């Protein structure tokens, strides 16, 4: 994310200047949206989480230190907003369990693909975020750790736990990768 915002703009944002907030939003919205989209994997949900993230940023602006990067701070907020969305959608998914059909990539075994997607969706949101970013999106561990504000070792252990849970769930369904 671009981090070369003028100090004056950030100072005005912290003081609650709406024009400064909008200028920052215009500069960062696409990068923040793409980051959220990687996590929630649904454009409509990503837009909702984008609104939520920038609203949280404005509400929590007093805690932002302009001397530190806005991009990293915003990414943490965006990650938390996306995580909260996953938690809410997981509850909703339980209510409509057995719902959506999954589009299988060409050449793949549709039943296997559906099993994998369902097993992945059933992961606890905290593990799912890490697994999505590390395995699916292949983002560096250091970047994920920064976005979640946790040590790199925590990211590695969460990926390990996510893979183990996935493997167990798939084994229960007779799939042995």
Partner 1 sequence: MNDDARLEQMLRAALPPMEPAAPSRDVWQSIVARGGSRRPGWIDVAIGAMTILALLRFPGWLWLLAYHL
Q: Given the rule CB under 8 A, which residues bind partner 1?
A: 16, 18, 21-22, 25-26, 29-30, 33-34, 37-38, 41, 43, 46-47, 50-52, 54-55, 58-59, 102, 104-105, 108, 112-113, 116-117, 120, 131-132, 135-138, 163, 166-167, 170, 177
Cα–Cα distance measured from residue 75 to residue 144, given in angstroms and rounded to the nearest whole number: 10
Q: Residue 4 or 138: which CB sits closer to partner 1? A: 138
- Our CA angle for 151, 120, 134, nearest 5°, is 35
Q: Residue 29 or 67: which CB sits closer to partner 1? A: 29
Provide the 3-class DSSP secondary structure of residue 176.
coil
Residue 135 DSSP class? I
The least CB distance from residue 125 to partner 1, in Å, is 15
- Our CA angle for 124, 125, 131, nearest 5°, is 90
Q: Residue 148 or 170: which CB sits closer to partner 1? A: 170
Structure tokens given for 150 = 């946790």
The least CB distance from residue 33 to partner 1, in Å, is 5
The least CB distance from residue 60 to partner 1, in Å, is 11
The least CB distance from residue 3 to partner 1, in Å, is 19
Q: Residue 46 or 86: which CB sits closer to partner 1? A: 46
Assess contact for 152 and 145: CB atoms under 8 A: yes
- 98: region left, alpha or beta (phi > 0 left; psi from -120 to 50 alpha): left
């Amino acid at each position: 994310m671009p981090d070369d915002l003028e100090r004056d703009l950030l100072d005005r944002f912290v003081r609650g200047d709406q024009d400064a907030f909008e200028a920052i939003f215009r500069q960062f919205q696409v990068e923040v949206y793409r980051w959220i989209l990687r996590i929630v994997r649904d454009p409509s949900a990503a837009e909702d989480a984008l609104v939520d993230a920038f609203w949280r940023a404005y509400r929590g602006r007093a805690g932002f230190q302009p001397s530190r990067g806005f991009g990293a701070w915003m990414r943490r907020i965006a990650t938390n907003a996306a995580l909260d969305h996953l938690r809410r959608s997981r509850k909703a998914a339980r209510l409509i369990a057995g719902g959506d059909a999954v589009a299988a990539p060409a050449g793949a075994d549709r039943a296997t693909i559906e099993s994998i997607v369902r097993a992945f969706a059933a992961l606890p949101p905290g593990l799912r975020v890490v697994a999505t970013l590390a395995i699916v999106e292949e983002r560096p561990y250091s970047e994920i750790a920064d976005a979640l504000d946790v040590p790199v070792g925590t990211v590695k252990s969460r990926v390990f736990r996510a893979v183990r849970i996935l493997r167990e769930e798939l084994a229960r369904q007779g799939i042995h990768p």
